[in-house]
Amino acid sequence: MGKIEDLATAYHRHVSAPWQRTLSGADRVMFVVYEKETERALRARVGEFEQATIRAGHAWKLINCSKWFSEWMARDEYREAYFETPDLLTMKLDREFKPEICQRLAAELEQADDNTVVALLGVASLYPFVRVSEVVHEVERAIRGRLVVFFPGTKNENVYRLLDARDGFNYMANGITLHSEGTNS
């Protein structure tokens, strides 16, 4: 089996365990952590995670956030000015983009019942505009079933690094990885 298949198997073991219904939103989050170089392979085989979820007796809802930034930017009347002077965009990202994507993801989570895995694909496209940890934290209250974040990067203990590109963040999500040293599998 390849890396993605092995990761799907590890995910299946995790999603098949009995779900406690009294967990907080933060405890309902799973990060499937994989090497950034395998992003295309994971996207091509994301159906294996869906099948693992269904075999475990849960529903599946895939959310692809890859186009969220470009869609948001395309609607902005001053987008050309931001392309000329990107530094002007910094405050707007925090004030408008982050709340919009948090609201969008929360709405998807609220539509799912307590037996549904909502899977978030494409978080690398949010870099460097927002931090994944901040988005997940903002939507925790809306998680009824489970939120699975497909995370191209690394995990060492509880420290996650997206794309190995920025300082890691400490998050208590259930990490699903292929490596057992310093990680959860």
Torsion of CA 75, 124, 173, 137, to 10 degrees: -20
pLDDT in tens, 155-182: 777 766 666 666 555 556 677 878 643 3
pLDDT in tens, 89-110: 888 898 999 999 999 999 999 9
Q: Would you state the structure tokens that stand for residue 75, as one six-digit string?
A: 């609607």
Q: Output the pTM of the full model.
A: 0.88
Nearest to 149 by CA among 93, 103, 109, 182: 109
